[in-house]
Amino acid sequence: MAFFCCGGADKDEVTLANRPKDNRNTSAGKQKANEGPVTSSPPSTQLGTPNLSGLSTGDEKQRVFGPAEARVVGSSIIPAMPDGTYDQKSGPPPGYHDGAHHENTQVPPGNPPPYHNWEETVPDTAMFPPPPIGGYLYSNTGNASEADADRAHDFCDNTPLWTPCMPSDAVYNSVQNFDLRPVRPQEYNGHLEVVGQGMWRGRTQGQNGDCILLTGLPLYFPAKDSPLITELTKTIYFEAKLLAQYDGIKGQVGGFSIGFAAQPYPTWRSPGWERGSVGVFSDDGCRFVNDSWGGMEFTSAFKVGETVGLGMKFSLPSPESLTISQTNGTPTTLPVEIFFTRDGKVVGSWNLHEEVDEDAGGVRGLEGDFDLYGALGLFGGVEFEVCFNRSGWLWAPPTS
């Protein structure tokens, strides 16, 4: 599922860093707003690349993640989803707040508070009122509006990705125990409940507009999970079951997309459409990586009663890759494989860096250096179940 057209104005006066290609005025029928590297930071904040030749693997870890003492923080609070009107001139949302010890916490300046274990303070955030608003040219099945797309592009252009920080032990242990709850956006109209540890069930009303459910905590923390730190492969994964479909938007097909996203993310957009996100869609089986057009052909449409899953596997670079990176002074890139399951069987996968749609906007946010949240995009009326708890998966992770 994608929208009719997504690039905003036909002629951008400036280069917009996060937007996918808009090729409507080219011979191929599409156009791109930016040919350079994808970045959320203004050009004025970008520093020159230092000469990192001769760094050891340990030095490389320290360069990427900073000194260990700067990563030690206490309990932290995840904010409500932003409303897309974030004004950089007035400063970002408040940083970490750690009770009596907040004066000693060290957090990158300008970073919203990314983590909070809601279990420590409230019983069930899913029952709370909504938080403040915080390949193909077109899809063959459903398309969102150009206005929603332009609003999302503006949001991403003006709202940097959150800088990852070290989670507290309580927060990290909650995620390892699959204690993950949904953050319900105001665009979600319908029923939503937590039915078990890391298990949700919901139903949106017919003709519900596009929206996204995100986990309240990241599934992947670079400061704890990166192979550059652990020297181990890290896999994140969850499953969703399509229970029923109802009226879609303007007669289109209702359904969901399963994916992952870096925060902050526009709450009225499905994963895969904007920067730092990936998603596979139920209505046509296409996969999207920061692609507001029609996505890339990947699998067939999901069937009612079918359980699908999506995973990301982050691996340690080869010694040769680390040596080349250090010699050339370039950032270390983790190998990232994205895989898709149907009723517990892996039926497809792709390499994040090697298989990129030429019309997409880049893979920044998905390379293992930002927090990643589980994401379920919803459009139209749909009934669904989501399972982050390993005990409920149909897919059996490899034992080695």
The string of pLDDT tens digits covering residues 258-293 is 999 999 999 999 999 999 999 999 999 999 999 988
pLDDT value of position 111: 67
Task: Answer whether residue 100 shows pLDDT above 90.
Answer: no
**Confidence tier at 399 by pLDDT (50, 70, 90):** confident
Percent of the chain whose predicted confidence (pLDDT) is above 70: 62
State how beta strands 345-351 and 199-204 pair: unpaired
In this prediction, residue 250 carries a pLDDT of: 80
Please tell me the predicted confidence (pLDDT) of residue 240. 99
Cβ contacts of 26-34, under 8 Å, gap ≥ 24: 29/137, 30/137, 30/293, 30/359, 31/7, 32/359, 33/7, 33/8, 34/361
| Residues 79, 76: Cα–Cα separation, whole Å | 10
Lowest mean pLDDT among 30-34, 57-61, 383-387, 391-395: 30-34
DSSP label of 330: P
Is the pLDDT confidence value at 190 over 80? yes
Q: What is the mean pLDDT of residues 114-126?
A: 53
Q: Which two tokens stand for residue 219?
A: 């599934």
Arithmetic mean of pLDDT, 358-365: 78
Specify the pLDDT at position 265: 98
Q: Please report, for residues 13, 193, 336, the alpha-carbon distance to residue 350 in angstroms, rounded to integers and kept in the order given.
A: 35, 33, 9
> Which pTM was predicted?
0.69
With a pLDDT cut of 90, the percent of the chain lying above it is: 55
Alpha-carbon dihedral 36, 108, 366, 374, rounded to 10 degrees:
-140
Question: Which pLDDT value is given to residue 145?
Answer: 76
CA atoms of 303 and 321, how far apart (whole Å): 41
Among 78, 123, 351, residue whose Cα is nearest residue 216? 78
The pLDDT, as a whole number, for residue 134 is 31
Pair 308, 318: CB distance under 8 Å: no
Domains of the chain and CATH, by start: 53-392 (2.60.120.920)
